[in-house]
Amino acid sequence: MPAIAPKYLLDDAQLLDFIARGYHLVEPQAGDFPEGFHASIVAKLDQIKSNPGNGILDAVPELKQIYDNPRVLGPLMSVLGKDVEMDGHRHLHTVKPHTPRSQTWHQDGTNVRHHQTWCCLAMYYPQDVTPEMGPTAVLPGTHLRNAPTDTMSNYGNIKGTEFLTVRAGTVAITHYDLWHAATLSRSDRPRYMLKFLFNRKSAPLVGRPSWRHDAKAADQIIINKTASMVGPIQHYCSDYYKEWELRREMWEWYLGSQEKIEPGAFRTLLSR
């Protein structure tokens, strides 16, 4: 991957938020792309007769410009390392007009309970997504939870669900294990989402953070119990403490530690 300016990397608060919530939104800014760029991609997608699957990048080569943009590449490098690489698997997801049912909750990853970040989805939305268009639903914090798909399929509306009603050009970078689902459509227009996968090639190293790291500031964020490290879902106290520990373990891994964090370590830090 090319070198990029540090200003495009996530800072400690943003990375801690990703660890807690399991996703980060890259929202469009003026000047990112020429006027009409995203609309031109929608026009191309409207002409596709059958889903090209992994061939979507050949069908719409302009998509590479999305992921080469430093405002997207910077967060990807931050969460997956500076040698992050694009996976060969990618897919065009379409919610057709007036789709009567939502997808069931699911995880794309296998969730092997390592609670590390080795793969992320980078979901690009080329059009404004309204509540009527079947936005992607995500459940913050569920990358730390494991459940069989057949069990998840029985879950309905869950408190804490967030719906990605976003502007054209938004990229949602999500941990591969985050629970998500497409929702039903009441719109006359299709809702497109381009799913690309990115992989980490090497484990984090001590003293070589892939984001903009300030150790003192990061510790203060944790000690102050800011929203970045507070569970986004209301649940039982035992789960609350377990997720504290899992986030702390994940944070230590990002800092280069390969050691198992002792139970209670995170609560000790928070109680200072």
DSSP string, 192-224: EEEEEEEE--S---TT--SSB--HHHHHHHHHT
Lowest-confidence range among 128-132, 221-225, 250-254?
Answer: 221-225
> What confidence tier does 224 reach under pLDDT thresholds 50, 70, 90?
low
Find tokens 């609670």 and name the residue.
Answer: 115
Tokens standing for 19? 């660890």
Of the pLDDT bands very low, low, confident and very high (cuts 50, 70, 90), residue 257 is confident
Least confident stretch, 1-10, 106-115, 209-218: 106-115
Q: What is the pLDDT of residues 63-72, one digit of tens each?
A: 999 999 999 9
Tokens of 208: 């070589």
Question: Domain boundaries in the chain?
Answer: 6-199, 215-270
**Paired tokens of 102:** 């939502």
Q: Are residues 202 and 81 in contact, defined by beta-carbon separation less than 8 angstroms?
A: yes
Asked if pLDDT for residue 267 goes beyond 80, the answer is no
Please report the pLDDT score of residue 99 as a whole number.
Answer: 93
Model confidence at 43: pLDDT above 60: yes
Determine the pLDDT at residue 205. 94
Is the confidence at residue 228, as pLDDT, over 60? no
State which amino acid sits at residue 86.
M
Where are the alpha helices (H) located in the chain, listed in sequence order? Answer: 12-21, 37-47, 56-59, 63-68, 70-80, 149-152, 215-223, 237-254, 265-270
Question: Could you give phi then psi for residue 7, rounded to 5 degrees?
Answer: -60, -20
Query: For residue 163, is it left (φ>0), alpha (ψ between -120 and 50) or beta?
Result: beta
Nearest Cα residue to 248 out of 267, 233, 221, 235: 267
- The percentage of residues in the chain with a pLDDT greater than 90, rounded to a whole number, is 65
Q: What is the mean pLDDT of the chain?
A: 87
Tell me: pLDDT of 80 over 80. yes
Alpha helices in 54-106 (DSSP H): 56-59, 63-68, 70-80
What number of H helices and E strands is found in the chain?
A: 9, 8
Pairing of strands 119-125, 180-182: unpaired
**Does residue 172 surpass a pLDDT of 90?**
yes
Q: For the chain, give the longest Cα–Cα distance.
A: 60
Residue range 112-133: average pLDDT?
A: 91
6-199: CATH, from 3.30.70.380, 1.10.10.10, 3.40.50.300, 2.60.120.620: 2.60.120.620
State the pTM of this model: 0.89
Chain position carrying tokens 């227009």? 189
Whether residue 143 is predicted with pLDDT greater than 80 in this model: the reply is yes
Query: What is d(CA 99, CA 189) in angstroms, rounded to the nearest whole number?
Result: 11
Query: Does 175 or 2 have the greater pLDDT score?
Result: 175
Give per-residue pLDDT as tens, 180-201. 999 999 999 999 999 999 999 9
